[in-house]
Amino acid sequence: MRLRDFADTDTLLIEFRDAPVAETRDLDENTLLDVDADRNICSSAAEHASQSAGAPQFSYEQVAA
């Protein structure tokens, strides 16, 4: 998984897997979801991320199973 913050466009891209995108779906006016041919999620993008996704306050925590 890879997170990319594009400061020039205020877009946060979360890439879950590297696979060809078959379809991009609009979840709302600021959120896009990319899926492959089997409808598995490839990535998600949040436009206006500093406002809609709280991008400046990002943190990561791995929780043990």
pLDDT in tens, 15-55: 999 999 999 999 999 999 999 999 999 999 999 988 876 66
Evaluate whether residue 61 is within a structural domain. no
pLDDT at 58 over 80: no
Residue 65 lies in a domain: no
Q: Is residue 62 part of a domain?
A: no
- pTM to 2 decimal places: 0.78
> Residue 4 is encoded by which pair of tokens?
């990319």
3-class SS of residue 51? helix
Domain with 20 in it: 2-51
Number of separate domains in the chain: 1
Q: Which long-range contacts (CB under 8 A, 24 or more apart) does 37-43 make?
A: 41/16, 41/17, 42/15, 42/16, 42/17, 42/18, 43/13, 43/14, 43/15, 43/16
Any domain includes 60: no
Q: Is residue 57 part of a domain?
A: no
